[in-house]
Structure 1
């Protein structure tokens, strides 16, 4: 299933590359990217990028930012962007988020000692993610569902996740969210406690009989939430938030006041 993607465009690679614009494309709206990757000159690449961005804007295929506008992303460099396209040394190179430059004029080439490092110019002095400085974020891997929740505190994030897990899926639902929901039986109910101090969401899951082996699979699926709605740091830095998943035992099904009504799908408390 296709989902929305972010793209940045540059002339050149490295910290002195010239930014030409960016776009957050809607689900399935990727026509025109292949034409850009076949450019054979810097001028032709710039013209194709400009035409593509204007077309996407007119056709409302995505959120477009032109060269000269304010940097659109909360992350400070293109390390947080899904796809970066750059014309350099006579060809177009493309890098997926946090990966190497791997496509040259639409063709794969193997890694080698002459690889250009994945380094981008800083487009903003600080990171838009709450509580983090730019220097701490350029190597982080950002979750595909982070999106508009990047400024949420833990309580707001908990409400958003509960909505995503329990409300009917709408058009354009990201594929990653569909995959997560597919692992969670629809009869389940959730009590979530948000701890702003510990940056933790505790999920208590209702709907399983004691000892049900499927409960462990649900707890494992919920443990993936920080990677989907936050960031991970290979260097061992703190995540955006952590998750603790608990499976309610038989007694809790009758004593939890917020979930006494089986029509209640989810509740949130905070402290």
Structure 2
């Protein structure tokens, strides 16, 4: 299962106090139950410190305390998987730059009076420049970005191939389960990483000519940038683009290894 990133704050908004962060190697809700029950600022601070210390001792993740350097390449918590903040007597949680959707671990539906999702700016501390430190107040990060944010394009292509063609993983993110459901298991893929164009090209084998399900697969693969990257309503560049080419079972000259029905995927590079 992919790791998850978590940030912790006292208060909400641009003036909130950052208490620390962790990248958990695996998701286990029992780790997070205790501090979501905090009913005072002091209690929350103590429980978060204990949680981070426990994760560090058991080597369950990469821990950063609030008096250290900001650990992520994104300069605000809009790029973090889960953000937890104590405010107005309870603990709030926001998921991947969306909204404060949980209060003391109970779902809160959208409403006109909800608090805007604003975080302190950490640009000067994150140590990244250029596109890696683009303004995340506008960006929306894909649910499968996770620990792939460090990957270059060929590494990302390999990760996507593994996610699409490897054995199903119990507890996998729902976005990945939904994507795989649109891709029949008999399909085979050749993926080309074009670093100059910042593009992954997917050649899909296993459909007969004119198979209407082929377009469904092509549409599903076209969503990969939104799942593993980011979108920017202001028009900023995406993390990568995708080009999909459908090939019938007779097309094995480009990548002969895919002539073997046991083969599932191969990565090439320009």
**What is the TM-score normalised by the length of structure 2?**
0.83
SS of alignment partner, residue 45 of structure 1: helix
SS of alignment partner, residue 119 of structure 2: coil
* Change in 2 beyond 3 A, CA 1:266/1:83: closer
253, 256, 259: which one aligns with 2:254: 256
Q: How does 1:38-187 map to 2 (within 5 A)?
A: 38-106=37-105, 108=108, 111-113=111-113, 115-125=114-124, 131-132=130-131, 134-169=133-168, 173-187=172-186
Unaligned runs of 5+ in 2: none
Q: Is the contact made by 2:8 and 2:18 (CA closer than 8 Å) also made in structure 1?
A: yes
Deviations 1:36-90 (A, max 9, x none): 2332221111111112222233344433322323322221111111222222333
SS of alignment partner, residue 248 of structure 1: strand
Number of residue pairs the alignment of both structures matches: 268
**What is the TM-score normalised by the length of structure 1?**
0.83
Task: Select between 137-146 and 201-210 the one with higher mean Cα deviation.
Answer: 137-146
In structure 2, the partner of 1:265 is 264
RMSD of aligned alpha carbons: 2.9
* Change in 2 beyond 3 A, CA 1:232/1:110: closer
Deviations 1:208-234 (A, max 9, x none): 111112212211221121122111123
How many Å apart are 1:118 and its aligned residue? 1.8
* Change in 2 beyond 3 A, CA 1:137/1:244: same
How many Å apart are 1:243 and its aligned residue? 0.9
* Change in 2 beyond 3 A, CA 1:17/1:214: same
How many Å apart are 1:238 and its aligned residue? 2.0
* Change in 2 beyond 3 A, CA 1:129/1:159: farther
* Change in 2 beyond 3 A, CA 1:169/1:12: same
Q: Is the contact made by 1:192 and 1:204 (CA closer than 8 Å) also made in structure 2?
A: yes
* Change in 2 beyond 3 A, CA 1:56/1:191: same
Deviations 1:213-261 (A, max 9, x none): 22122112211211221111233322111111111146523x3243364
* Change in 2 beyond 3 A, CA 1:224/1:177: same
Unaligned runs of 5+ in 1: none
Distance of 1:223 and 1:60 partners within structure 2: 37
SS of alignment partner, residue 136 of structure 1: coil
